[in-house]
Structure 1
Amino acid sequence: MGVGKSTIASQLGKMLHMDRLEMDQKIVEQEGMPVSEIFSRYGEQYFRDAESNLLIALQEGKGMVVSCGGGVVLRRENGMHMKKNGHVIWLTAAPETIYERVKDNKDRPILNNNMNVEFIRELMEKRKPFYEAAEDIQVTTDQKSISQICAEIVEKLSILEEQEHSGEC
């Protein structure tokens, strides 16, 4: 949430000549309504089910950059699906940075009535163990350009793949 997943996924897809899929956007298309409306009509559980179902469907595809919603790893099985099918990159930023990036966005149902740095900090702390369990690499997006972030991801992925091929992982 607010760390730059969509922007970075788009640029990374271009750099790596890979298709890109925005999970939230795909769910919006499937449901025919914005995320905030899905939450208000059907609840968070319904949305999380849609995320899980989409992840399962994506297992058929190859060579794709997938931008997941910030809460997708709250279900451990989702993290396992992602790790089984590729590398999981955890983008992170300081709560203050996230707040500045999302404060004017009204389509963030988790932040409805909670648009403040302290709530974002608490949410990040609650989610941290789930992200740590799912991630292969972590990249901080604070005070970095899109190209710097993408270059760091590509470098870390190269190191990870070298380690995997040499049996170090």
Structure 2
Amino acid sequence: MKSNIYFIGFMGTGKSTVSRHMAAITGYEEIDTDQEIVKQENMRIPEIFEKYGEEYFRNLETEFLKGMQKREHCIVSCGGGMVLREENVKLMKKTGVIVLLTATPETVLERVKNGRERPILNGHMNTTYIKQLMEKRETYYKAAGEIVIPTDGREALDMAKELKQNLESPKFCFDFS
């Protein structure tokens, strides 16, 4: 039974914000994969990347998703690179629906420009670099996303309400009561 909702998308597309609203209106448990990994490793993400490298971090994401196979009624905000591994997409689809949030490079930059917790963007905080990285990942996102929601200029609560209605449709058959 698919009962989890996985939010994917590039960093700064609103995954954490929309998932927080979605949890509030559905009563589902909200989980942020990056926060869970930080807690588990007792280290910030930039430190994990610096000390162990990206591959180690990606392995932690996969292990997290394996643990999700026994959990239900969760809203999971996934790290931006979670879908880069086909195994991760398969694990998510086993227990839930994958929702892709999108935004323009300009919107992403506006949302992330003051953050320091995004090691992939450190030293590259500009729309040209963001656009290039988005284009590299676009095929992964589009292949994984079962529902696509553009987030530019939209309120997170409105998107969460729209998504809830979509998930209650016969196509997905979620029951939030």
TM-score by length of structure 2 reads 0.89
**Counterpart in the other structure of 1:137:** 147
| Alpha-carbon distance between aligned partners in 2 of 1:126 and 1:156, rounded to the nearest angstrom | 29
Equivalent pairs counted in the alignment come to 163
Structure of higher RCO (CA pairs closer than 8 Å, 6+ residues apart): 2
Deviation at 1:156, TM superposition (A): 2.4
2:135 pairs, out of 103, 125, 131, with 125
Whether contact under 8 Å (1:20, 1:64) holds in the other structure is yes
AA at the equivalent of 2:127: V
Partner SS, residue 59 of structure 1? helix
Residues 37-116 of structure 1: pairs in structure 2 closer than 5 A: 37-116=47-126
AA partner of residue 147 (structure 1): L
Structure 2: which amino acid aligns with 1:138? V
SS of structure 2 residue aligned to 1:108 = coil
Sequence identity of aligned pairs in percent?
44
User: Counterpart of 2:3?
Assistant: none
CA distance in structure 2 between the aligned counterparts of 1:50 and 1:147, rounded to whole angstroms: 30
Q: Distance in 1 between matches of 2:166 and 2:132?
A: 28
Please give the per-residue CA displacement for 1:3-40, whole angstroms capped at 9, x wherever unaligned: 11111111101111101111000000000010011001
**Alpha-carbon shift at residue 164 of structure 1 (Å):** 5.1
Instruction: Give the match for residue 5 of structure 2.
Output: none
In structure 2, what is the equivalent of residue 147 of structure 1? 157
Higher alpha-carbon deviation: 61-70 or 146-155: 146-155
Alignment TM-score, normalising by the size of structure 1: 0.93
Give the distance between the partners of 1:164 and 1:69, measured in 2 at CA. Answer: 24
- Contact 1:139/1:152 (8 A) holds in 2: no
Q: Does 1:27 align with 2:37?
A: yes
Unmatched tracts of structure 2, length 5 or more: 1-10
Residue of structure 2 equivalent to 1:163: 171
Which protein has the bigger helix share? 1
CA displacement, residues 98-156 of structure 1 (integer Å, 9 cap, x when unaligned): 00000010110000111110111111111111111111100011101111111221232
Give the match's secondary structure for 2:114: coil
Give the root-mean-square deviation of aligned CA atoms. Answer: 1.0
Which AA in structure 2 matches 1:57?
Answer: G
